[in-house]
Amino acid sequence: MANKRPPFWQREQYTPFLLLLPAVLTLLFVVLLPLLFSLYTSFTGYRLIRPESLWQWVGLRNYKRIFADGDFWVAFGRTIIFLTIALNLEFLLGLGIALLINKITWGQRTLRTIMMFPMMFSPILVGYQFKFVFNDNIGILNNALQALGLSDGAIPWLVDKYLANFSIIFAEVWMSTSVFAILLLAGLFAMPRDPLEAAKVDGCNPWQVFRHITLPFLMPFVFIAMTIRSLDVARAYDIVDVMTGGGPAGRTELLWTMIARVGYDNARMGQANAMAYVSILLSIAFTYYFFTKLLAARKYMGGAE
């Protein structure tokens, strides 16, 4: 009688939850719990040098302060512009590269492998590499320009307001375009030949074939790439930290470098956590948007569930 039903951990309907338990527990302990603590801290005047200030409730003061702070909005706006430019460039270049490599038959494998290199570079290395390339005095870019007689002075790539932001976007695009290129190439390989042939027989020109057959078929792959990218956009922090550290004079400050400066260098944890929350909401909104797009595209493709 007592052993009529198996204990709950052996019942079939609980198995998936049991299997997921370690993952859920890890994320609760390392992500959710800290985020709740950080949410609390954003309502206090916590400074690292005065531990007792952790209990000093200040309500919305941190949020009011950062929203009234011009520098914060400049960094926020720059982050949005940075993401918009970088992601669109990565998508367009990735699409172009995928179409290009799809055309090539000889040496395609090698090209694909080389294309994956930047993806595996640590962002900190990408940053260092381009700090070196763009260095005004000894960088390979200025050296090459001077050797070719295209410029006679040292162009301050990492100091000038516009050039520095350009250099950082260049590094970011260099690092992440391959995510798009690789996934879109996989999409091109998976594409059925019949509709393409049919369209050609019906007299479509190459642009029409691309616009109405290839591109719609590739869209789910675009959204996978966007979703994967949205998981790690904040890695740009590493690049900026090495290349310029947000400087000179805050000219390349992004939301993420600002959080680090306020939190660790100025030791104002409460305020930094308030900023961190803005950046978290930004990332989540971003991922959520592309994830729902992905689900919609999946349904359209007729995938399972």
Among 158, 235, 244, 251, the residue binding other proteins under the rule CB under 8 A is 235
Nearer to other proteins by Cβ, of 156 and 283: the residue is 283
Nearer to other proteins by Cβ, of 199 and 218: the residue is 218
Nearer to other proteins by Cβ, of 1 and 93: the residue is 93
156-175 positions binding other proteins, by CB under 8 A = 174
Nearer to other proteins by Cβ, of 20 and 215: the residue is 20
Q: Shortest approach of other proteins to residue 1 CB, angstroms?
A: 26
192-231 positions binding other proteins, by CB under 8 A = 220-221, 223-224, 227-228, 230-231
Helix axes 108-120, 70-103, angle to 10 degrees: 160
253-272 positions binding other proteins, by CB under 8 A = 256, 259-260, 263-264, 269, 272
Does position 296 bind other proteins by CB under 8 A?
no
Nearer to other proteins by Cβ, of 95 and 101: the residue is 101
Look at residues 265, 97, 269 and name the one whose alpha carbon lies nearest to residue 184.
97
64-93 positions binding other proteins, by CB under 8 A = none
Q: Shortest approach of other proteins to residue 290 CB, angstroms?
A: 10
16-45 positions binding other proteins, by CB under 8 A = 16-17, 19-20, 22-24, 26-27, 29-35, 37-38, 41
Q: SS in 3 state form for the chain?
A: CCCCCCCHHHCHHHHHHHHHHHHHHHHHHHHHHHHHHHHHHCCECCECCEHHHHHCECCCHHHHHHHCCHHHHHHHHHHHHHHHHHHHHHHHHHHHHHHHHHHCCCCHHHHHHHHHHHHHCCHHHHHHHHHHHCCCCCCHHHHHHHHCCCCCCCCCCCCCHHHHHHHHHHHHHHHHHHHHHHHHHHHHHCCCCHHHHHHHHCCCCHHHHHHHHHHHHHHHHHHHHHHHHHHCHHHHHHHHHHHCCCCCCCCCCCHHHHHHHHHHHCCEHHHHHHHHHHHHHHHHHHHHHHHHHHHHHHHHHCCCC
Among 75, 83, 87, 101, the residue binding other proteins under the rule CB under 8 A is 101
Nearer to other proteins by Cβ, of 1 and 138: the residue is 138
137-156 positions binding other proteins, by CB under 8 A = 137-138, 140, 143, 147
Positive or negative: CA dihedral 253, 257, 260, 263: positive
Does position 182 bind other proteins by CB under 8 A?
yes
Nearer to other proteins by Cβ, of 35 and 209: the residue is 35
Q: Shortest approach of other proteins to residue 213 CB, angstroms?
A: 17
Nearer to other proteins by Cβ, of 213 and 280: the residue is 280
Among 45, 94, 118, 246, the residue binding other proteins under the rule CB under 8 A is 118
Amino acid at 175: M
Does position 284 bind other proteins by CB under 8 A?
yes
Look at residues 225, 232, 212 and name the one whose alpha carbon lies nearest to residue 186.
225
- Measured between alpha carbons, how far is 72 from 258 in angstroms, rounded to an integer? 8
Q: Shortest approach of other proteins to residue 265 CB, angstroms?
A: 11
